[in-house]
Copies of this chain bind each other. A is one copy, B any other.
Amino acid sequence: MSTLHTLLALLRVKPASGYELARNSAIATDPVWAASHSQIYPLLHKLQQQGLVTSTKDTRGERLERTVYAITPRGEEAFQTWLEEPLHYLPYRDPFRLWIGFMDQIPPAVLMRGIDEHERRNLELAERYERVAGELARGEHPFIAIRRGRVPDPELARIARARAFQYTEVAAVARLEVEASRRARILARELHPESVNQPPPSQSRGRRTRR
């Protein structure tokens, strides 16, 4: 269960509350491993039961109390064991390719809208991830900043390169989806020749009435 290990990975950097872990996972691991935030507290409980993390109450001001989790030596060991295990692949489930395989049966306007949306969504992801990869490579990312002084500089440089690579590669996945959308659009036009040069429904009303 890799979500559990993403939490250990975050706690290796520094002790954190459940809230901070949710925020940090959004920065650090969500692009490659989307954690459901509702899972975080049950998983922390499980990690604590297994002796992989400890928790302490931290009081700030008069009434503000929060639980802060820290990784234990056994937790460090469990994380390293996970790194050395064979990858556990997931069943491949690809909603876009499943759907697009039926493109001969999808009404052209719906088809074009779905392809446009897929392209837009992935272009946005690609640009975001490429930006983060750049920030990581230049050491400007919060993920690197938080570690500065905690780990020696040469080690920090290696971490930054590995994480920058991760983002470059997840951006490459999104870029492939953009290209796949463009290829899908070309085939969609060939399979639905009646729709060529026909504006999408929302823009066509004015023209169609021709008044």
| A interface residues with partner B (beta carbon < 8 Å) | 2, 6, 9, 29, 31-34, 36, 80, 83-84, 86-107, 110, 114, 117-118, 121, 155, 158-159, 161-163, 165-166, 169-170, 172-173, 176, 179-180, 183-184, 187, 190-191
Q: Which residue of B lies closest to A103 (CB)?
A: B162
| A29-B98, A34-B92, A87-B96 known, 14 other contacts, Cβ within 8 Å | A2-B98, A6-B98, A32-B93, A33-B93, A87-B114, A97-B166, A97-B169, A100-B166, A101-B163, A101-B166, A104-B159, A104-B162, A161-B191, A169-B184
B84 lies within 8 A of A107 (CB): yes
CB distance from A171 to the nearest CB of B (A): 10
B98 lies within 8 A of A161 (CB): no
Q: Which residue of B lies closest to A31 (CB)?
A: B92
**So how many copies of this chain end up in the complex?**
2
- Bound together, the chains give a CA A83 to CA B108 distance in angstroms of 11
B102 lies within 8 A of A158 (CB): no
A97 lies within 8 A of B170 (CB): yes
A94 lies within 8 A of B191 (CB): no
- Bound together, the chains give a CA A2 to CA B101 distance in angstroms of 13
Q: Across the interface, which residues of B come within 8 angstroms of A158, CB to CB?
A: 104, 191
With A95-B88, A158-B191 already in contact, the answer to whether A165 and B33 are too (CB < 8 A) is no
Q: Across the interface, which residues of B come within 8 angstroms of A97, CB to CB?
A: 32, 166, 169-170, 173
**Could you show 14 A-B contacts with beta carbons less than 8 Å apart?**
A6-B98, A31-B92, A34-B91, A36-B91, A83-B102, A84-B110, A87-B117, A94-B173, A97-B173, A100-B165, A104-B159, A104-B161, A161-B190, A169-B180
